[in-house]
Amino acid sequence: MTVTAMNIRDAIVKGELSALEVVQDKLDHIQSTNASFNAFTEVTRDRALAEAKSIDALRKAGEPLPPLAGVPYAVKNLFDIEGVVTLAGSKINRDNAPAAADAFLVERMKAAGGVLLGALNMDEYAYGFTTENSHYGPARNPHDTARSAGGSSGGSGAAVAADQVPVALGSDTNGSIRVPSSLCGVWGLKPTFGRLSRRGSYPFVHSIDHLGPFASDVLSLAYTYDALQSPDPHDPACHALRVQPCLPTLQQGVAGLRVGILTDYFDTYASPPARAAAQLAAKLLGATDEVHWPSPAQARAAAFIITASEGSNLHAHNLKTRSQDFEPVSVDRFLSGLMQPATWYVQAQRFRRMYRDQVNQLFANWDVLIAPATPVPAPQIGAEWIDINGLRHPCRPALGLLTQPISFAGCPVVAAPMWPDNTGGLPLGVQIIAAPWREDLALRAAAVLEDSGYATVKAHYAGQL
């Protein structure tokens, strides 16, 4: 049985365990397993022990405990952690000074009682879908360590799947939460663009970057997401945000929800097991109608243009002076972005405004839409190509074929772990997509899938409370 964040929190509240016992157990587990999975690039042991002791002191004093009291978590290494260098998966950033303060979402987790255990592996500067990092080594899939954990938040997905932590934070620009969730078989949430503050995280593509949580169950995912919500006057995208808790509606089921399944493009670029996973999820949620998503191929192309332009602009100086220190699998894409005509970027942003309007019109008729999350299950580490319905595609970009069109519209998505046939026992997730600002609907549908028993996390290691 996988130990969830809320199992841990309840045991601490009841006095069955101390936060210190929980954290020491997780730290020992990370020490004994990280050589196999390579999820952690930094373990913040002293901080974790101090935060656990503070939770135990609150309980001893009879004080009310916060919603994530004593819950261990870790963050993708693009989040600032006070006193730790923010690597963002790179060699170049090693030369930077340690962060002077925690990222906004790390502050939110600490206020909610979470205990930070460290920083997690990722693709360099978040430009990738496999976390095959030549500087820090690949993050390995806990279900088969010869396979990719996905990316760019591969360490986050692997750490939850390996039960090193029950909760992790990551980022998603073109699919970097949903791809690792799908390949590692864990729950992930990419919120609406602008929902969660990005302050104190190393950027990739400012106009598309999202931050969000991973978890081993839906309840923990919702608790974590609600704890993270807050307006932030220093992030223009969410400075006036109204908090909308999801927990009160989590168990309302799908009665009254209009659920559809995406077809066309989302069939063409999904293998038979991926289509089967989406069709099963749609059936369990009562979807009877097929839905056409507008212009997904064009959206993916526009996302590529904006990604290359903004990403390369951010690193322009280092690309000109230290190109040899970049990740070999991404440096050419960064360099090509420097040479893109400005008119391509402008046209892509113009298209995006029209595209979002078209996508939002879908939700006049539908509340939740279902699609596969990745075309195939986890590929072998080092794979250059994947086969999708008899056609060969370059592995690294093709893992985002089904996620890029969705995040380009800014919609919230829960990635649900599914286990279809003919994958050799590997997970292969689905996307539960809702209208902007309606994370509650996506999480309600996710809870129904989890209750069905078909959408489950099967951790490589199950700790014992």
Active site residues: 76, 152, 176
Q: In angstroms, rounded to a whole number, what is the distance separating the alpha carbons of residues 30 and 35?
A: 9
Only one residue has tokens 């008119």, namely 343
Tokens of 283: 């059936």
CB 105, CB 116: distance < 8 Å? no
CA-CA-CA-CA torsion sign (428, 75, 199, 52)? positive
Rg, Å, the chain Cα set? 20
Only one residue has tokens 């949620």, namely 285
Nearest to 237 by CA among 176, 189, 196, 177: 196
- In three-state form (DSSP H/G/I as H, E/B as E, the rest C), the secondary structure along 7-62 is HHHHHHHCCCCCHHHHHHHHHHHHHHHHHHHCCEEEECHHHHHHHHHHHHHHHHCC
Q: In angstroms, rounded to a whole number, what is the distance separating the alpha carbons of residues 303 and 158?
A: 26
Q: In angstroms, rounded to a whole number, what is the distance separating the alpha carbons of residues 3 and 297?
A: 40
Rounded (10°) CA dihedral 433, 434, 435, 438: -140
